[in-house]
Amino acid sequence: MHLEDLAEKAAEFRAEEAGIQREVRVCVAASCQSSGSLAVMEALEDACGDGKGTCRVKGVGCMGLCSAGPLVSIADKDCSLDESVLYRDVTPADAPEIMGSVCGSPVERLRCPTDQPFFARQHKIVLENSGFIDPDSFKGYVAVGGYAGMVRALSEMTPADVLREVTTSGLRGRGGGGYPTGLKWSTVAKMPAGQKYVICNADEGDPGAFMDRAVLESDPHRVLEGMAIAAYAVGANKGYIYVRAEYPLAVERLQTAIRKAKRAGFLGSKVADTQFSFEVEIRLGAGAFVCGEETALMASIEGLRGQPRPRPPYPAESGLWGCPTLINNVETFANIAPIVREGGDWFASIGTERSKGTKVFALAGKIRNTGLIEVPMGTSLRDIIEIIGGGIPDGKAFKAVQTGGPSGGCIPEAHLDIPVDYDSLKTLGTMMGSGGMIVMDETSSMVDVARYFMEFCMTESCGKCIPCRTGTWQMHGLLDAIAKAQGTHADLALLEELCEVVQATSLCGLGQTAPNPVLSTLRYFRDEYEEKLQRAEL
């Protein structure tokens, strides 16, 4: 199949819907579903009737402003979210009024402005189709240019060409570490030909993070396309998607996507009528955070206990069942199709010197607009929190923002102007992580924050290595005592010493980074610890 054939198919799918002019798009991603969007959709469908064939109600993926859900947007068929009329907090009872407004003036009572910075300041690559296409529709994805990256790679490029584009793009892994994706792919590609695997890491276990879930629920074909391109580039013919079982909707949409892509000949044997074959299987994780670590994840796929093992050998050399394996995060794969479609140089023109492209963040905590955003790398934290996020509600003052989940750290007001990229965050003692951003106001106690994350690491430690298994237990005990104003200066000294030992000696990233929240809150908010100690020693 060539690009022209695909374009023809896309045109055909669009023609099937030529009669439809207006669309009523209802968010059916998990967050809006939990606030009742399915009932809203049903009511809208009832109110629509057959819509005289020119209007349709369509379920779409996440529109970003999840805290205002259920969200419904009304637009001409080809118009994006910015150009639509957006309604927030919609209930089934609003359906007749909303349907009545499809061709008339909007229902002001429910309106949510789309020219506000929350929407206007975003730059969407990963989420370009999110909130726009029906995630369960294969035709819908192709109609907006889906699978063009894969067909282009298979029909016009050699694997080496694909590797070159991905390397040129400067894309770095979105799973937390920020390892250069092109380099990882080339390493797997250079391993001798034979059985190789591609794995998509969708285990997303950081508290407060839901970026990967949103991508899978809103645009699952994009991830499959990225994986297929990766498999072609590195010489693999089999892929696994490791999703946590707590994401049933994502799993269901992925299953549908795989089934439909296979039926259309875009997965399976002879993909798009070429010699390339690629099978994809879903594996469910049972919710252990450590199973997101790549070696533990592979052990879990193999049916073993999900526990990390020493690296090297890295998965690229010896991964699943000892075969060379490429493992990337959901968002990493979601960037691949646009890179192949538009070229690596295009991607590299977005972002900063050493962090290219965009990053999806999940805004949570004490912030007005909680939800999902995508911004170019290098956007300042202040812009994200104060402008896009709308600042702190209830007239409270900002205190700190936590990035990188249990492996990251807190950033105080004084550093809010730094650009968000892998290296700047590291210099502040935190990390990009997978994209969770928890905002805290003046009422939050930083000792409590450190204790919360330490408790998380303690309960999620797999128990394989001594420093993490028992060190996190000890550190949690010390933090608990300090938080309850029962700790002494000697306790704090011991805590700092344990931080150093656990960081330096743990086997995997979980233990190595578990002290980070403590170290960073000590770095910027030491006075809060001191104050608690003084109270204890009075």
Ligand X SMILES: Cc1cc2nc3c(=O)[nH]c(=O)nc-3n(C[C@H](O)[C@H](O)[C@H](O)COP(=O)(O)O)c2cc1C
Site residues for ligand FES per CB under 6 A: 27, 29, 31-32, 62-66, 69, 71, 371-372
Which one, 99 or 498, has the nearer CB to another protein?
498
Find which of ligand SF4, another protein, ligand FES, none residue 62 binds, CB within 5 to 8 Å per kind. Answer: ligand FES
Rank residues 472 and 521 by Cβ distance to another protein and give the closer one: 472
Query: Which entry of ligand SF4, ligand X, ligand FES, none binds 215, CB below 5 to 8 A by partner kind?
Result: none
Q: Is 293 in the site for ligand X (CB under 6 A)?
A: yes
What's the angle, vertex CA 373, arms to CA 376 and CA 438, rounded to 5?
105
Phi then psi for 354, rounded to 5 degrees?
Answer: -115, 0
Binding site for ligand SF4 (CB under 6 A): 290, 308, 461-465, 468-469, 506-508, 510-511
Tokens of 136: 């369960």
* 179 interacts with, out of another protein, ligand SF4, ligand X, none, CB within 5 to 8 A per kind: ligand X
Question: Does 327 engage in binding with ligand X (CB under 6 A)?
Answer: yes
Instruction: Tell me the three state secondary structure of residue 219.
Output: coil
| Chosen from another protein, ligand X, ligand FES, none, partner binding at 467 (C-beta under 5 to 8 Å by type) | another protein
Span of 60-68, 126-134, 325-333, 378-386 interacting with ligand X by CB under 6 A: 325-333
Write down the least CB distance from residue 468 to ligand FES, Å.
12
**Which of the choices another protein, ligand FES, ligand SF4, none does residue 65 contact, using the CB cut-off of 5 to 8 A by kind?**
ligand FES
Q: Token pair for residue 134?
A: 């029906």
Contacts of 319 (CB under 8 A, 6+ apart): 197, 199, 298, 325, 326, 327
Choose the stretch contacting another protein; rule: CB under 8 A; options: 20-28, 148-156, 363-371, 456-464: 456-464
Q: To the nearest whole angstrom, how small is the minimum distance from the Cβ of residue 261 to another protein?
A: 37
Smallest distance, Å, CB 462 to ligand SF4? 3
* Type of residue numbered 480: D
**What is the torsional sign of CA 327, 207, 210, 408?**
negative
Tell me: does residue 474 bind another protein (CB under 8 A).
yes
Pairing of strands 22-27, 409-412: unpaired
As a whole number of angstroms, the distance between CA 199 and CA 302 comes to: 12
DSSP E strands: which ranges in 367-435? Answer: 371-376, 398-403, 409-412
Choose the one of ligand X, ligand FES, ligand SF4, none that binds residue 464, judging by a C-beta under 5 to 8 angstroms depending on kind.
ligand SF4
Q: Out of another protein, ligand X, ligand FES, none, which partner does residue 32 contact, by CB within 5 to 8 A per kind?
A: ligand FES
Residue type, 69: G
Q: Which residues contact 24 (CB under 8 A, 6 or more apart)?
A: 44, 48, 55, 56, 57, 58, 72, 73, 74, 98, 99, 102
Closest distance of CB 60 from ligand FES, Å:
9
Residue 351 DSSP one-character state: B
Report if residue 140 touches ligand X, rule: CB under 6 A: no
CB closer to ligand X, 23 vs 293: 293
* Alpha carbon distance, N-terminus to C-terminus of the chain: 78
Chain CA centroid to CA 92, Å: 30
CB of 311 to ligand SF4, least distance (A): 11
DSSP secondary structure, 73-108, as one string: EEEETT--GGGSEEE-S--GGGHHHHHHTSSS---G
Out of 9, 121, 164, 309, name the contact with another protein by CB under 8 A: 309
Report residue 378 as tokens. Answer: 């290098």
Binding track over 274-293 against another protein, x by CB under 8 A: --------------x-----
Q: Which is nearer to ligand FES, 69 or 436 (CB)?
A: 69
What is the widest separation between alpha-carbon atoms in the chain? Answer: 79
Nearer to ligand SF4, 28 or 290 (CB): 290
Please provide the DSSP assignment of 150-170 as one string. Answer: HHHHHHH--HHHHHHHHHHHT
In this structure, the dihedral spanned by the alpha carbons of residues 293, 296, 302 and 303, taken in order and rounded to 10 degrees, is -120
CB 469, min distance to another protein, A? 6
Residues 195/323, Cβ–Cβ less than 8 Å: yes
Report what 501 binds from ligand X, ligand SF4, another protein, none; CB cut-off 5-8 Å by kind. another protein
Residue 229 beta carbon to ligand FES: minimum distance, rounded to whole angstroms: 27
Give which of 101, 90, 97, 74 is closest to 32, Cα–Cα: 90
CB of 27 to ligand FES, least distance (A): 3
47 binds, among ligand FES, ligand SF4, another protein, none (CB under 5 to 8 A by kind): none
504 near another protein, rule: CB under 8 A? yes
Secondary element (H or E) of residue 71: none
Query: How many C-alpha atoms does 177 have within 13 Å on its Cβ side?
Result: 15
- Site of interaction with another protein (CB under 8 A): 288, 305, 309-310, 312, 458-467, 469-474, 477, 494, 497-498, 501, 504-507
